[in-house]
Amino acid sequence: MKVQFIFKVIPVFIFYSDFLLKSWMAGRSFGIFVIVRKKESTTTPRVTAHEITHSKQYYRYTGLTVILTMILDYYSGSSMQYVWAFVPFMFPLAFLLISRFRYDMEIEAYRVHLTYFSLSHRDHARMNFAGSLAANYKLKGYTVDKIYIDLV
């Protein structure tokens, strides 16, 4: 287990395990927790960077949801407790249900991921990531060619 800080103050706990990873996944982010596949030890910095990007997205969008809920709470005049209960789940729900959102989040994470490759290997990795995104993320209408272009 390792700890890294995002936005300088929020700890992210990184576990090296295959727990909760689908066969094609090298890692997975659950906000404050990140899982990196054990056999990815040689590629750990870039896989971790990808997953930490998702953790940053989680806090960025959850922060935004908190602000919007506070505004709604202030002006609604009625009890908002039931809405507050959903706040931590809004980012994972949006990621799960909205393919365009999932796509944008993955493009951002894979762009970070790509910066860890040397220039001579980057184009090959970009092609592999475009293929993986098209195959594994349930993105209708996003072809490998389109994803490849968006991954610049």
- Smallest gap from residue 110 Cβ to Zn ion (A): 7
Tokens 């999932």 sit at which residue? 102
Rule CB under 5 A: say whether 130 interacts with Zn ion.
Answer: no
Is residue 114 at the binding interface for Zn ion, with CB under 5 A as the rule?
no
Return all residues near 36 (Cβ < 8 A) that are at least 6 apart. 14, 15, 16, 17, 26, 27, 44, 47, 48, 51
CA distance 105 to 94: 10
133 binds Zn ion (CB under 5 A): no
Residue 109 touches Zn ion, criterion: CB under 5 A: yes
Using CB positions, name the residue nearest to Zn ion: 109
Q: Give the count of beta carbons closer than 10 Å to the beta carbon of residue 152.
A: 8
Contact call for residue 147 and Zn ion (CB under 5 A): no
C-alpha distances (whole Å) from 83 to each of 59, 61, 89, 91, 120 are 18, 16, 11, 14, 49
Nearer to Zn ion, 109 or 151 (CB): 109
36 in contact with Zn ion (CB under 5 A): no
Binding of Zn ion by 52 (CB under 5 A): no
Nearer to Zn ion, 80 or 139 (CB): 139
Residues near Zn ion (CB under 5 A) = 106, 109
